[in-house]
């Protein structure tokens, strides 16, 4: 029961002061719900507006690929250097400590190992995503393949409906058919289709002309790293993407297959958050590596 004595009437109503209107810092998000924005704010650094997401979802298609044989040994120790972690529910549940406070972007679709690139029409349930306290959900949207394009778009759209219902951002993971050039035209098309279907984040690949991919996508774009490159080249890739307007990376192999994953994560973060050029970032990588 409320106290009846010593009731203090309010006196500090800020009369004459306008209620602050929030200008949200991430593009395309102004008209989204509080919960969705709050989750995005956990993923994207509020000073740089960018994110270093660590992807380790590869196993659902590729099995125990190099660097992901033991998520508990190879990934768990490095997540503290990422802004967000991206993986599949089984690996997160079994191998990532529940004590982590890193936001989780959960790989929500699944596929077969036969069609290695194209995923089908399976999504995990919203109850499962909420139970895992996710900050975002990711699913592939693949264009250019007769057999799968419609399925992945339907799947993706369904995930956006779920995400919007619960205020959970959805990240579209772009893929293009084997007959399509892996260029700005087609990654731009796939990115735009993700955004048109309600993605809050789009994950795609850096290509020449990337500034057009970013400009025509109204929500934050992050890049995958792709296959393992020498560290300097991977840092150049990040730098070029950031300079073209990318909002960060969702990078896997170029981090966990690096000879020094933590120094690499720090160097990538230098590029993403501090606009370090590739030479300085590579120097940072080497300095951190030398510390052992």
Euclidean distance between the first and the last CA atom of the chain, given in angstroms as a whole number: 60
Q: How far is the CB of 14 from ligand 5RP (least distance, A)?
A: 47
Active site residue 203: yes
Which CB, 218 or 226, lies closer to ligand 5RP? Answer: 226
Question: Out of 85, 251, 264, 284, which residue is the one contacting ligand 5RP (CB under 6 A)?
Answer: 251
Cα-Cα-Cα-Cα torsion 157, 162, 165, 166, nearest 10 degrees, comes to: -140
Other Cβ atoms closer than 10 A to 128: 14
Choose the catalytic residue: 27, 37, 165, 203: 203
Number of residues that bind ligand 5RP (CB under 6 A): 13
Cα separation of 238 and 259, whole Å?
18
Which CB, 48 or 152, lies closer to ligand 5RP? Answer: 152
Give the x/- contact pattern for ligand 5RP in 12-51, rule: CB under 6 A.
Answer: ----------------------------------------
Which CB, 219 or 224, lies closer to ligand 5RP? Answer: 224
Give the x/- contact pattern for ligand 5RP in 102-141, rule: CB under 6 A.
Answer: --------------------------------------x-
DSSP lists the bridge partners of residue 171 as 138, 201
Which CB, 37 or 204, lies closer to ligand 5RP? Answer: 204
Determine if 58 is a binding residue for ligand 5RP (CB under 6 A).
yes
Question: Out of 225, 261, 263, 270, which residue is the one contacting ligand 5RP (CB under 6 A)?
Answer: 225
Which CB, 37 or 163, lies closer to ligand 5RP? Answer: 163
Question: Out of 253, 265, 270, 273, which residue is the one contacting ligand 5RP (CB under 6 A)?
Answer: 253
The residues that are catalytic are 203
In the complex, the residues that contact ligand 5RP under the rule CB under 6 A are 55, 57-58, 140, 173, 224-226, 250-254
């Amino acid at each position: 029961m409320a106290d009846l004595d010593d009731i203090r009437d309010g006196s500090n109503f800020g009369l004459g002061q306008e209620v602050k209107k929030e200008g949200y810092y991430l593009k395309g998000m102004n008209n989204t719900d509080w919960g969705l924005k709050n989750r995005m704010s956990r993923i994207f650094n509020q000073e740089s507006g960018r994110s270093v997401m660590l992807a380790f979802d590869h196993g659902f298609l590729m099995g125990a690929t190099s660097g992901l044989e033991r998520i508990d040994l190879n990934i768990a120790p490095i997540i503290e250097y990422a802004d967000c972690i991206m993986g599949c529910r089984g690996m997160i549940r079994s191998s990532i400590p529940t004590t982590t406070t890193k936001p989780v972007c959960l790989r929500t679709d699944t596929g077969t190992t036969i069609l290695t690139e194209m995923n089908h029409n399976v999504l995990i349930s919203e109850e499962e995503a909420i139970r895992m306290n996710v900050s975002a959900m990711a699913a592939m949207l693949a264009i250019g393949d007769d057999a799968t394009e419609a399925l992945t778009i339907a799947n993706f759209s369904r995930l956006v409906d779920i995400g919007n219902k619960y205020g959970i951002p959805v990240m579209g993971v772009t893929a293009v058919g084997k007959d399509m050039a892996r260029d700005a035209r087609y990654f731009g098309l796939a990115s735009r289709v993700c955004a048109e279907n309600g993605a809050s984040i789009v994950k795609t690949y850096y290509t020449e002309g990337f500034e057009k991919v970013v400009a025509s996508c109204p929500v934050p774009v992050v890049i995958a790293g792709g296959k393992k490159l020498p560290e300097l080249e991977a840092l150049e890739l990040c730098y070029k993407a950031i300079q073209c307007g990318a909002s960060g990376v969702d990078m896997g192999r170029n981090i966990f297959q690096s000879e020094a994953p933590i120094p690499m994560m720090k160097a990538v973060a230098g590029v993403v958050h501090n606009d370090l050029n590739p030479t300085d970032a590579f120097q940072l990588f080497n300095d951190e590596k030398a510390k052992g």
